[in-house]
Amino acid sequence: MDEYTEPKHRVNQQLSCSNCGAILKFAPGTHAIACTYCGTHNQIEQKSEEIVSEAIQEIDFHSFLKHNKDRGLKIEVKTVKCPGCGAVSSLKPNVTSDECAFCGTSLVLDSASISTLIKPKALLPFGLDHKRAIEVFNGWMSSLWFAPNNLTRIARQNEALKGMYIPYWTYDSSTYSTYSGERGDNYTETESYTDSDGNSQTRTVVKTRWFYVSGNVQNNFDDVLVVASNSLPREYAQNLEPWDLEKLVPYDEKFLSGFQTEAYQIELEKGFDYAQEIMEKEVRDSVRRDIGGDQQRIHSVHTDYDDITFKHILLPIWISSYKYNDKIYRFLINARTGEVQGERPYSWIKITLAVLAVVAAIFAYLYFSGNLK
């Protein structure tokens, strides 16, 4: 029981600068933590090959759920829940006030609590630094047509972009599916008809002959990615893919220093439901290929999921959210690839003025060219 009496959420001593005592933050694009005050750089130790391969090793899904009291795989983190959108994120060390990265609501840090969570095994460290992310953000902003003027002002605030580690599950499984359906083979036939002038004509039509079929297909899935956050709309998260998962490094809190980390809100089991949706689509594609022919109808598919394993990982994004006319808009950057996803408001005043200007130009043209008297 002793192991739980010691708070595990205090700042790791290795994270304070040996030179000036300030907090060392992970320097994106490097493998080091750095002091923003005196510039001291400390390399994050490279892990041995065994540790690396252990970290990217998947865990058996069913036996984990059965014995999920297993303490070795859990961590305690100090988290705060956003009163606005419900996102649960970790606190940056020494931060006394902060805003929710997902909706911009002020976080009440007094309400922080300790959550016990499945420990992430691996993560992708930030590749793009804050400066580069701001450039990408500004580039995107200035490309917007008909955006409200004060939007660019909101976006120009330095704190507008936050670095965030987002929780993900990845699942592996081999599937065996039995199906029944119909295969359609096309053929052509010449038929005669009478045209509108009363003459008899012939034409070629395509017809389909249907046969009942049944069979089975096998698929192997590797690293089916499911975002374990409710704060990030699923489609945006998917549009940030692909991730260079082959570059995953073992979890080390040094990589998290200077960033916020969101705690997962979608549990391991629920996450697998989403993974199944993704896998089912691919299974149906395999079934169609297996049926062959020119057209396919699928009546039923039954899939067994075997050898299910999972990993809990963290992936880095830069995120900005701003409220405009009571609606939340988000801007996201994949902090590995620079892939951008953004929502934007339109200024109806600007659009109306532009439309009026075009209408006025047309009238002016007609007037001066003498077509309008």
Binding flag, residue 85, Zn ion (CB under 5 A): yes
Binding flag, residue 17, Zn ion (CB under 5 A): yes
Q: What DSSP letter does each residue of 111-123 carry, written as one string?
A: G-EEEEEEPP-EE
* DSSP 3-state of 144: coil
Nearest to 292 by CA among 186, 189, 134, 192: 186
Biggest alpha carbon distance in the chain?
99
CB of 30 to Zn ion, least distance (A): 16
Among 15, 23, 27, 35, binds Zn ion (CB under 5 A): 35
Q: What DSSP letter does each residue of 195-241 carry, written as one string?
A: -TTS-EEEEEEEEEEEEEEEEEEEEEEEEEEEE--SSS-HHHHHHT-
Q: For residue 199, what are the CA distances in angstroms to 30, 195, 196?
A: 80, 6, 7
Burial class (CB in 10 A: 0-12, 13-18, 19+), 302: exposed
The answer to whether 85 and 101 have CB atoms below 8 angstroms apart is no
Q: How far apart are CA 273 and CA 262, in angstroms?
A: 21
CB of 101 to Zn ion, least distance (A): 8
- Select from 68-76, 94-102, 143-151, 242-250 the region that touches Zn ion (CB under 5 A): 94-102
Q: Judged by CB, which is closer to Zn ion: 48, or 113? A: 113
Binding flag, residue 40, Zn ion (CB under 5 A): yes
Among 47, 73, 84, 253, binds Zn ion (CB under 5 A): 84
Residue 368 neighbours by CB distance under 10 Å: 9
Q: How far apart are CA 278 and CA 285, in angstroms?
A: 12
Q: Judged by CB, which is closer to Zn ion: 296, or 321? A: 321
Q: Judged by CB, which is closer to Zn ion: 12, or 105? A: 105
Q: Judged by CB, which is closer to Zn ion: 21, or 242? A: 21
Binding flag, residue 77, Zn ion (CB under 5 A): no
Binding flag, residue 102, Zn ion (CB under 5 A): yes
The residues, any chain, with a CB within 8 Å of residue 234's CB and separated by 6 or more, are: 227, 274
Residue count, binding to Zn ion (CB under 5 A): 16
CB of 106 to Zn ion, least distance (A): 10
- Residue the block writes with tokens 């075997």: 306
Q: For residue 133, what are the CA distances in angstroms to 26, 48, 235, 318?
A: 15, 32, 21, 7
The answer to whether 342 and 240 have CB atoms below 8 angstroms apart is no
Among 4, 8, 11, 19, binds Zn ion (CB under 5 A): 19
Q: Judged by CB, which is closer to Zn ion: 84, or 233? A: 84
Binding flag, residue 233, Zn ion (CB under 5 A): no
CB of 85 to Zn ion, least distance (A): 3
Q: Judged by CB, which is closer to Zn ion: 102, or 171? A: 102
Binding flag, residue 82, Zn ion (CB under 5 A): yes
Among 4, 8, 11, 20, binds Zn ion (CB under 5 A): 20
CB of 360 to Zn ion, least distance (A): 44
Among 80, 103, 166, 225, binds Zn ion (CB under 5 A): 103
Binding flag, residue 34, Zn ion (CB under 5 A): no
Q: Judged by CB, which is closer to Zn ion: 20, or 361? A: 20
Q: Which of residues 290-319 bind Zn ion (CB under 5 A)?
A: none
Q: Which residues are near Zn ion by CB under 5 A?
A: 17, 19-20, 22, 35, 37-38, 40, 82, 84-85, 87, 100, 102-103, 105
